[in-house]
Amino acid sequence: MDYKEKVQVSINSEIGKLNCVITHTPGPEVENMTPENAARALYSDILNLSVALPEYNEFNQVLQKVTKVFEVKDLLSDVLTNEKVKNNLISKICRTEVVDDVCYLLSGMSNEDLARELIEGVEMRNDTLTKFLDNERFTLHPLPNFFFTRDASFSMNDKVIISKMASKVRDREALIMEAIFDYHPAFSTQTINPVKLFDKSGKATIEGGDVQIARNDIFLSGISARTTSQGIDSVLEYLKTLPGTKHLILQELPYSPESFIHLDMVFTFLDVDKCMIFEPLILRSSRHLTIHVIVEENQVVQIKEEDNILVALRKLGIDLEPIACGGHYDSYIMEREQWQSGANFFAIAPGKVIGYGRNTHTMNELNKHGFEIFKAKDVLKNNIDINMYEKYVITIEGDELSRGGGGARCMTMPISRQPVDW
C-alpha cells in the first residue's frame, strides 16, 4: 500500500475530533478459545464469533463513516515486508514466549501468513513424542484480546507509549504494536517504553485501558489489577523528562469483580463539560483513593489525596458534569450496566460518542442531558444525518461483544485528534 502522507500522532484529549484510529477486527483467534483455555486468555466466557463479528462490523463501519481507520493486521503485514523488522520481531516473540523451535517455521512464512498466524495462533507440529503427548493445540497461542486495541499501546501527545501487559498471554500484542509504530511508513511518531526504560522492581505493568489524556498536561490512570503503582512510577519517570508542569490523577480500582479491570470501565469523557461515571465508585467510595501527582520539570513536587476525579479536574480548569451509568437510584441496575461496559464510551468528537445500546438506563440518562440517541444501523443507512446534531450517542449492538469484557473505547486506539478549546 502506498502511504503518501504520514499521520502525525497527536492525542491531547479524549474527545477532540477524531482524525484516525487503529482497530482490529476479531477473527479465528476468538474461535480458538475453548472453555478449558478461556481463563488463561483472560475471558470468563467464550464468544460466539458468528454473533460478535456482525456487531463489531457495525461498530467499525460507523468509525469508517466518520474517520480514517487502520487495521492492525494490514499494518503488521506491511512492516513485515522489511526483512530486518520481520526477523527482529520473530526473534523477540520467540524469546519472550520461549518457543525457539518455531522461529524457523515463522521465518519461512509469507508476510500475509505470518501476520495472520501471529494473531490467530500457530498450531503445534507433533514432531516429537513430547509434543504428541501434550494437550496444547498451539505453540504460539492465539490473541483473542487483540480486538481491544486500546491496551497494548496508547498515544500520549505526540508519542506512542508501549504498554507492559499484566498477563504474559498479551505480551505479543505490545511487541506487534511497537513494531508497527517504529517502522510503518504511515506514522510519524516515537515509541516510548517507560517500564523497559525506568522500572527496576520487575513489578511494573500498565495498560492503555487505564490511561486517559484529559489535556496535554493532565493524565488520568487507574491503579488496578492491570496497572500497578510501579507501572505508574515508570510513567512518572518519563514525564520528568518532559518540560513544564504535568498532572497525573490516579484512581484506585477494586481488583474484583473483573468489570473494574480498567479506569475506562468506570469513567470516560463525553464532552468538554460532561463525563460518564459509575457513581458508586467515583463519587461514593471511601475505600478507593483518588491521588493527584504534580510533576514540574524533572521532579515530583507534590503527591496529595483528592476527594474524587471530578474535584481534581475542576481545580485544573476542567469542570465536568457527571452522568451516571445505570442512573442514580437502583444499585442493581447500576451494577448490571457497569458490568456490561455501560460506562465505556468512545468520543469521535466533543459530545459525539459511541456506546452499547443494551444499557438502556444509561442511554436514558444521556438523553436527559441533551444527547440524541441513534442506532448505528440507522446512521449507516443514512436514515439520520448526524451532522445535524450537536450531541449524540451512536449505539451499537453489543450483546455478544460486551461478554468479552470491554466496550467502544476498549476497541479503539486513536492516534490523532484535533485540538479541544477548553
pLDDT of residue 378: 97
Kindly state whether residue 1 falls inside one of the protein's structural domains: no
Contact 226, 262 (CB under 8 A): yes
**At a CB cut-off of 8 Å and minimum separation 6, what does 202 contact?**
none
Q: Does residue 233 lie in a domain region?
A: yes
State how many domains the chain has. 1
Question: Would residue 168 count as lying in a domain?
Answer: yes
Note whether residue 279 is domain-resident.
Answer: yes
The CATH code of the domain that includes 124 is: 3.75.10.10
Closest CA to 282 of 303, 263, 301, 258: 263
DSSP label of 17: P
> Digits of tens for pLDDT over the chain (422 positions)?
556 789 999 999 999 999 999 999 999 998 876 655 555 544 556 688 999 999 999 999 999 999 999 999 999 999 999 999 999 999 999 999 988 778 888 999 999 999 999 999 988 777 777 666 677 778 888 999 999 999 999 999 999 999 999 999 899 999 999 999 999 999 999 999 999 999 999 999 999 999 999 999 999 999 999 999 999 999 999 999 999 999 999 999 998 877 899 999 999 999 999 999 999 999 988 899 999 999 998 999 999 999 999 999 999 999 999 999 999 889 999 999 999 999 999 999 999 999 999 999 999 999 999 999 999 999 999 999 999 999 999 999 888 998 888 999 999 999 999 999 88
Secondary structure element (H or E) that encloses residue 90, with its range: helix 83-97
Does residue 2 form part of some domain?
Answer: no
Residues 6+ apart with CB under 8 A from 19: 7, 10, 67, 68, 415, 416, 417, 418
Half-sphere exposure of 422 (CA within 13 A, CB side): 16
Q: What is the pLDDT at residue 138? A: 84
Question: What is the CB neighbour count within 10 angstroms for residue 59?
Answer: 26
Residue-level pLDDT at 394: 98
Q: How many helices (H) does the chain have, and how many strands (E)?
A: 15, 22
Note whether 410 and 148 are within 8 A (CB).
yes
In-domain check, residue 24: yes
Whole-prediction pTM: 0.94
Give the pLDDT of residue 17.
Answer: 98
Cell digits of residue 351: 459530545
The whole-angstrom separation of Cα 355 and Cα 346 is 7
Distances (CA, A) of 118 to 53, 162, 326, 347, 413: 20, 18, 39, 30, 19
- The domain of 392 spans 7-417
Residue 342, domain member (yes or no): yes
What separation in angstroms does the CA of 52 have from each of 46, 226, 344?
Answer: 11, 25, 18
Cell numbers describing residue 208: 492503555
The answer to whether residue 422 sits within a structural domain is no
Residue 182: how many other CB atoms lie within 10 Å: 17
Q: Residue 171: name the closest of 112, 89, 239 by CA.
A: 89
Task: Determine the pLDDT at residue 285.
Answer: 83
